[in-house]
Structure 1
Amino acid sequence: MDLGLKGRKAILIGANASVGRHTAEILAQEGCNVALCGRTEEKVDAVVARVNALGVNAFGKAVDASDAKALPAFIDEAAAALGGCDIFISFVSTNLGVDSDEGWMAVMNADILPLSRGVRAALPHLQKSDAGSIVTLSSTGAVEEFMGPQPYNALKAAVINYSKSLAQKHAAEGIRVNCMIPGPIYTEDGPWAGIKAAAPEFYDSILGQIPMGRMCSGEEIGKAIAFVASPACRFMTGASLVIDGALTKRVQF
């Protein structure tokens, strides 16, 4: 199936590693031009090189996504470098795992605010596209209890609400907004690899809760994101898609 991504332009925030990196490469494999940023210049340069090697245009820059001025400036610069923007996705995230002021502010500053600032900066460019698409990233921790009171879980629930409201507001402009709700994702450069090494018993306890017996791979979630973001999925907007290997127990209607 042709996803209709050839020649399209995607701006990805926090895509220098893990899920963002996989998504950048998969979009590039489909012929999509990609601009990306991340905190580490070396990692950004490595992903840009891999994307360029796939025969598409790539633009990258080291950016602190929590910087209220630097992030919108990067999005404008990226849109100029690519010649527009059809797809916007923010992958930046953090989780201190504590129910404290510090924990709440960490998620707000490194996850929620970069998303909302990024969306606002990307919208003028998406409005010029004939296939504008925003994909947001939530978590199964937002839809079911997971490890007690967690700022991360609560604020990822806010992402679902925010995404639905954006979809309603911008549907008439042809801009789609959909929210991915993944369960645990294992990549060699992602957080679960570190958890597996540092806390193997905890890692195994989470793995044991997933009926499929494994975590999602970076390639699998990247392919799902690419499909939802693509013109092949043109009538889907306002949706929240759970991708979790049957981890969650709730019945969805």
Structure 2
Amino acid sequence: MVLAGKIALVTGGSRGIGRAIAERLARDGATVGITYARDEAAAAEVEGKAFAVRAEFGRHGDAAALWEAFDAHAGHVDIIVNNAAIGRSSDLAGLTEDDFDEVFAVNVRAPFFVVREGLKRLRDGGRIINISSGAARIAMPEIIAYSSTKGALDTFTLNLAKELGPRGITVNSVAPGIVDTDVNANWLRGNAEAEAHAASLAALGRVGQPEDIADVVAFLASDNARWVTGRVVDATGGAGL
């Protein structure tokens, strides 16, 4: 197994894309720790995980608390996947200052400090994979704050790759498009018109599945991607071409 002996952390790994990533890394042989915010039952159902820790992001000290809990299970980490995020936001007119602060705290500040606090535990030759979004490169004013956080995350990826390169650590972003997860369920599932429209936005003509993203992450986590760093890997199925 390509990740045998590796230890991975997947934030927001109890459902959706994060769950698919955790399960794929586990199938590849990694010992996987996941974080969850509230749904302990969902976290317990993730197949192949080694342990789960509760971690609520968006508060000062959240990253330090996460790693303290992680340390009770593992003494180091090889792969960090920053997946936990607030999935949507309002448009410019409807966005409150509190909403703005929250989405940036969870989607940008938390990954920043998860990495900073994790570097002393991350072994040389490790992997950092940030889950971004196709919305960072496609204008979507209806979710302007969310899109902006993902653009910031991609810039974070670029700078980290340069800083950590001497340690053999690769840093990349994966940018999904519309994916059939719980976050999109209320408007996508059971709505044939919405599903058809979402599928039409991708060159490959369908809505993405969590496993589509997990497979890309698994590649970047493996030694096969040892010469790829500082990149945003588009995983939208060709949206916006």
TM-score of the superposed pair, with normalisation by structure 2: 0.90
Change (3 A) 1:221 1:234: same
1:155 corresponds to which letter in structure 2?
T
Change (3 A) 1:242 1:16: same
Structure 1 residue 80, shift from structure 2 partner: 4.6
- 1:120 is the counterpart of 2:116: yes
Cα distance in 2 for residues equivalent to 1:178 and 1:172:
15
- 2:162 matched residue in structure 1: 168
Q: Contact 2:89/2:143 (CA < 8 Å) preserved in 1?
A: no
Q: Contact 2:11/2:83 (CA < 8 Å) preserved in 1?
A: yes
Structure 1 residue 51, shift from structure 2 partner: 1.2
Q: Identity across aligned pairs (percent)?
A: 25
* CA-to-aligned-CA distance 1:42-94 (integer Å, 9 cap, x gap): 222222xx215xxxxx1112221223324322224324512310000111111
- 1:92 is the counterpart of 2:84: yes
Select the residue among 46, 51, 60 that pairs with 1:68: 60
The unaligned stretches of length 5 or more in structure 1 are 53-57
Structure 1 residue 194, shift from structure 2 partner: 2.3
Select the residue among 173, 177, 191 that pairs with 1:179: 173
TM-score of the superposed pair, with normalisation by structure 1: 0.86
* CA-to-aligned-CA distance 1:162-211 (integer Å, 9 cap, x gap): 10001001100111100111111113xx2122222487644543332223
- 1:142 is the counterpart of 2:142: no
- 1:45 matched residue in structure 2: 44
Change (3 A) 1:210 1:195: same
- 1:237 matched residue in structure 2: 229
- 1:55 matched residue in structure 2: none
Select the residue among 93, 99, 105 that pairs with 2:101: 105
2:165 corresponds to which letter in structure 1?
A
Q: Which has the higher mean CA deviation after the structures are superposed, 83-92 or 65-74?
A: 65-74
Q: Which has the higher mean CA deviation after the structures are superposed, 166-175 or 107-116?
A: 107-116
Cα distance in 1 for residues equivalent to 2:130 and 2:212:
16
1:241 corresponds to which letter in structure 2?
V
Cα distance in 1 for residues equivalent to 2:209 and 2:28:
19
The unaligned stretches of length 5 or more in structure 2 are none
Cα distance in 1 for residues equivalent to 2:98 and 2:193:
27
Cα distance in 2 for residues equivalent to 1:88 and 1:238:
15
Cα distance in 2 for residues equivalent to 1:204 and 1:28:
33
Cα distance in 2 for residues equivalent to 1:152 and 1:233:
28
* CA-to-aligned-CA distance 1:218-253 (integer Å, 9 cap, x gap): 11210110110222211111111111111122xxxx
* CA-to-aligned-CA distance 1:146-175 (integer Å, 9 cap, x gap): 245611112211111110001001100111
Cα distance in 1 for residues equivalent to 2:198 and 2:175:
17
SS state at 1:155 partner: helix
State how 1:27-46 maps to structure 2 within 5 Å: 27-39=25-37, 40-46=39-45
Q: CA RMSD in A?
A: 2.0
Size of the aligned set, in residue pairs, is 236
Cα distance in 2 for residues equivalent to 1:203 and 1:96:
21
